[in-house]
Structure 1
Amino acid sequence: MTMNSNFPSSGLGFRGLEEEEKESRRKEEIKKRLREKKEEPRERVTGREGD
């Protein structure tokens, strides 16, 4: 990650930044999906329990 920041003008560095952005977006999407999966069952269970 530091190498890409050291060489932002190089084509390889730019491609690396794009890859990092894609990976970060994928990680964020995975985190959101995990959060939704965790929140959905809890809400359903609490709704059934009547809490």
Structure 2
Amino acid sequence: MLVADVAEDAPGHRIYLLARSYMPAQDLQIVNSPEGGLSPRYRADISGAQI
């Protein structure tokens, strides 16, 4: 998995655009979030270095 994009609003809530690939230089696929509302972005409202 690769983090392709990160967006943050004023209160500090972050959303992430994730991608996956077996060979990133050749074929990259955006991973859709199962939440639906922000698809294809994932919400992560936790602090720290790891998601």
**TM-based fold match above 0.5:** no
**Which one has more relative contact order, counting CA pairs under 8 Å at least 6 apart?**
2
The alignment's TM-score, normalised by the length of structure 1, stands at: 0.17
Relative to total residues, which structure has the larger helix share, 1 or 2?
1
The alignment's TM-score, normalised by the length of structure 2, stands at: 0.17
